[in-house]
């Protein structure tokens, strides 16, 4: 009879060799040989955990460094991502605990009616206290698969934390740089207001002398008022950016103030040879890869649900009808047990679970491939943007030089009465427009540089050379 009782356990051990194998993932499409900007590309192993470097220091702006560092610590999105990482790590520990024996102590009182061991009938009370042991051997890898999936989920959350931190750093840098660009534009518009005001005073004197009509005075007054309105609009935009910067660094907008200062930020030049590991260093791609592997592990867990489950239990302690005799040696009691469960019919629940896990795997595959394609596109976008912005900056610089020369010539001729006031006003409008466009191109170069750093996954290897950012 003892041999017959062990047959289910022996059969389960023999079935252990039938454990499920994980489905194979399709081969990833080969990456392009190079970027359109002639930057070489090679395949590299994932390296999402490596140090990405303090890339913002390449801009040589102490205020920017301070803001980025504060945002990386106090930003609410970063804190939320860090909390999700802590949750994922706790789930890993919980999944790993399922593979270990469970031990507990307990005590209880049973009251009932019946016949006790001495043959006495009637109501009786039994007191018990002891230790319980439960253990489920992981014969078919269910618990291991759950543990592996949870570990991969935690890795994905850690990579997403890196991605969130990088995104916040980049957004902080871009907001700060946009604010400094507005400071320069505001000074430029105020300078134009002063120039218009000087022209207005000259025109008023000439009107009083009878050299020009009142219409000329009104025209200059309109230009002064319109330009002052533009300066106020810039102030409004700057206030909005300052408030956004406060939220990024985790402060209330009412308590944050960034005074107007000269824009001395250096514009780093990204080295022509972007590292071949750029794709592997992107934390969002690493997160998609970890999620893909977790979905693969869950397919194995779902398939393992078809195999038998074995639970081993044990208990030892004391049981007595008299509370005073509970801990006597004669009151000791113990027991062991083994439970084998084998699914026969469940209405299709396990099959549906496998289909669901495989569908999630297909979704993760598509998500991973999409993330890879997005990474390629973002790098290409910013490389092309920087190349074209450089060409645009050169062309706009020539336009600014010509507009400045035209304004000087028109002002001299107007003071000597050789040209009309309309010609001078047109020259000043053209100068202001071209100088503002040059400033906007310069600001776009900073924005594209930060976006490229983000597209590369953070730092880009060797320290870049720096070019001082002069005013337009």
CA distances from 194 to 13, 417, 431 (A): 91, 21, 14
d(CA 218, CA 420): 14
Strand order in the sheet with 332-341: 102-115, 121-135, 309-320, 332-341
**pLDDT at residue 104, as a whole number:** 77
SS3 category, 266:
coil
Residue 57 contacts residue 264 (beta carbons within 8 Å): no
List the chain residues with pLDDT less than 50: 1-18, 38-52, 272-273, 275-276, 462-472
State the architecture of 59-99+124-467 in CATH terms. Answer: Up-down Bundle (1.20)
Neighbouring CB atoms inside 10 A of 358's CB total: 17
Q: Write the pLDDT tens digit of every residue in 353-412.
A: 788 888 888 888 888 888 888 888 888 888 888 889 999 999 999 999 999 999 899 888
Q: Are 58 and 463 in contact (CB under 8 A)?
A: yes
pLDDT for the residue 420: 73
- pLDDT (0 to 100) of residue 21: 61
Res 173: pLDDT: 92
State whether residue 343 is helix, strand or coil.
coil
CA-CA-CA-CA torsion for 268, 274, 277, 282, nearest 10 degrees?
Answer: 50
Angle between helices 142-208 and 62-74 (to 10 degrees): 140
> Cα separation of 448 and 440, whole Å?
12
Please report the pLDDT score of residue 237 as a whole number: 92
pLDDT of residue 162: 85
Residue 162 contacts residue 50 (beta carbons within 8 Å): no
Residue 468: per-residue pLDDT:
38
pLDDT tens, 131-155? 777 767 766 677 777 777 778 888 8
> What proportion of the chain, given as a percentage, has pLDDT over 90?
13
With contact defined as beta carbons under 8 Å apart, do 361 and 299 qualify?
A: yes
Q: Tell me how crowded residue 322 is: count the other CB atoms within 10 A of its CB.
A: 11
């Amino acid at each position: 009879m003892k041999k017959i009782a062990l047959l289910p356990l022996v059969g389960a051990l023999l079935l252990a060799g039938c454990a499920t194998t994980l489905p194979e993932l399709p081969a990833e499409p080969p990456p392009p040989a190079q970027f359109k900007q002639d930057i070489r590309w090679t395949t590299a192993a994932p390296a999402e955990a490596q140090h990405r470097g303090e890339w913002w220091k390449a801009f040589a702006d102490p205020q920017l460094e301070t803001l980025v560092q504060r945002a990386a610590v106090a930003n609410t999105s970063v804190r939320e991502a860090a909390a999700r990482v802590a949750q994922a790590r706790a789930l890993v520990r919980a999944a790993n605990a399922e593979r270990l024996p469970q031990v507990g102590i307990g005590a209880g009182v049973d009251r009932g009616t019946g016949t006790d061991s001495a043959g006495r009938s009637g109501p009786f009370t039994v007191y018990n206290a002891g230790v319980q042991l439960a253990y489920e051997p992981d014969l078919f890898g269910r618990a291991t698969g759950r543990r592996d999936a949870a570990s991969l989920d935690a890795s994905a959350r850690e990579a997403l934390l890196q991605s969130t931190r990088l995104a916040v750093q980049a957004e902080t840098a871009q907001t700060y740089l946009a604010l400094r660009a507005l400071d320069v534009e505001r000074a430029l518009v105020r300078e134009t207001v002063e120039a218009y005001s000087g022209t207005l005073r000259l025109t008023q004197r000439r009107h009083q002398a009878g050299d020009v009509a009142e219409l000329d005075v009104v025209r200059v007054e309109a230009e002064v008022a319109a330009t002052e309105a533009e300066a106020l609009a810039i102030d409004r935009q700057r206030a909005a950016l300052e408030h956004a910067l406060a939220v990024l660094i985790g402060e209330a907008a009412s308590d944050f103030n960034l005074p107007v200062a000269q824009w001395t930020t250096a514009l780093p030049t990204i080295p022509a040879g972007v590292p071949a590991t750029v794709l592997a260093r992107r934390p969002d791609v690493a997160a998609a890869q970890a999620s893909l592997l977790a979905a693969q592990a869950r397919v194995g867990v779902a398939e393992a649900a078809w195999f038998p489950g074995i639970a081993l239990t044990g208990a030892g302690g004391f049981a007595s009808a008299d509370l005073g005799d509970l801990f006597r040696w004669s009151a000791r009691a113990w027991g062991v047990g083994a439970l084998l469960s084998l699914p026969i019919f469940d209405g299709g629940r396990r099959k549906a679970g496998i289909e669901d896990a495989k569908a999630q795997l297909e979704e993760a595959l598509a998500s991973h491939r999409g993330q890879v394609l997005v990474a390629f596109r973002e790098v290409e976008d910013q490389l092309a943007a920087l190349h074209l912005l450089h060409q645009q900056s050169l062309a706009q610089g020539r336009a600014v030089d010509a507009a400045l020369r035209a304004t000087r010539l028109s002002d001299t001729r107007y003071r000597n009465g050789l040209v009309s006031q309309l010609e001078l006003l047109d020259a000043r409008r053209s100068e202001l427009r071209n100088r503002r466009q040059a400033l906007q191109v310069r600001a776009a170069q900073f924005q594209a540089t930060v976006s490229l750093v983000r597209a590369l996954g953070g730092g880009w290897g060797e320290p870049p050379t720096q070019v001082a950012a002069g005013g337009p």
